[in-house]
Chains A and B, each alone.
Chain A
Amino acid sequence: QITLKESGPTLVKPTQTLTLTCTFSGFLFSTSGVGVGWIRQPPGKALEWLALIDWEDDKRYSPSLSHRLTITKDASKNQVVLTLSNMDPVDTGTYFCAHTDRWYNGFDAWGQGTPVTVSS
C-alpha cells in the first residue's frame, strides 16, 4: 500500500521561502517509471500541478512558477522536498504530494494535503 504525507509550516510570511516535505512508503524511487508530484489547491479553486521528480531524477516544473520552484528527492529517507520562494498571499492553499507509477498513468495515490497560509 502506497502512502504519502506532506509536512511543513502552516503559516509563512510574504517573501519567505516555503519548504514542504513529502514522506512516503510503499514504493521505491529505484523502480522504473516512478514519480512524485506536487499539486496545490487554493481555497475553493481548482487543482494546479506544480512539479514532479522521477526515478531518474528528472525534474519538471510548471512554467509559470519554474523560477520559484525547486524539487529534490532523498531516496534513502523516502522523501521528496519542494521549495517555493518569494511567497505571496496568492500562494495560499492546500499542497498535495502524489505518486505516479508512469508519467502517463495519472496520480494514483495522494497525501492528505497540508494547508499553507501566506500572511504577514
Chain B
Amino acid sequence: QSVLTQPPSVSGAPGQRITISCTGNSSNIGAGYDVHWYQQLPGTAPKLLIYGNTNRPSGVPDRFSGSQSGTSASLAITGLQVEDEADYYCQSYDRSLIWVFGGGTKLTVL
C-alpha cells in the first residue's frame, strides 16, 4: 500500500490532454514537502520528469507540467504522443523522515 495515492490507469488519444493525480496527507504533501514526478518507460529506469512541484529538468518538453495544492498534486500532459505511453510515479518526503512514492499510473495512448 503506497503512501501517496494515484489512479492505476489513465488513457487518452494522441493530441489530447490528460492529468494524473497524486494524493497525500498532512505528513507529506500537506506539510509543504515538494512533489516530484517520474516517467518509467517499459523495461527502463525511472526518469525525473518534474521536480519541486512545477519544475522541468533540462530536456523535458513543456508538454509536461506539474501543480500542487493542499495535500494533492497533479501531472498534466498536453499534446499527448504515442511515446508518452509509460508508467508515471509521484514522490514526496514525509515528516517521518522518509521518502515516499505513489502507486504509479499506467498511461495508455489510444
A residues in contact (CB < 8 Å) with B = 37, 39, 46-49, 52, 60-63, 96, 98, 103-113
Contact = CB atoms under 8 A, between A and B. Distances in A.
Contact of A60 (B47, B52, B57, B97): B97
B68 to A, nearest CB: 13
Contacts of B44: 112
A49 B57 contact: no
Nearest to B102: A46
Interface of B: 2, 33-34, 36, 38, 40, 44-48, 51-52, 57, 89, 91, 93, 96-104
Contact of A47 (B33, B34, B104): B104
| Best-buried of A46, A52, A62, A105 by chain B (most CB within 10 Å) | A46
A108 B48 contact: yes
27 contacts: A37-B99, A46-B2, A46-B101, A47-B89, A47-B104, A49-B100, A49-B101, A60-B97, A60-B98, A63-B96, A96-B45, A96-B46, A103-B93, A104-B33, A104-B52, A106-B52, A106-B91, A107-B46, A108-B48, A109-B48, A110-B45, A110-B46, A110-B47, A111-B45, A112-B44, A112-B45, A113-B45
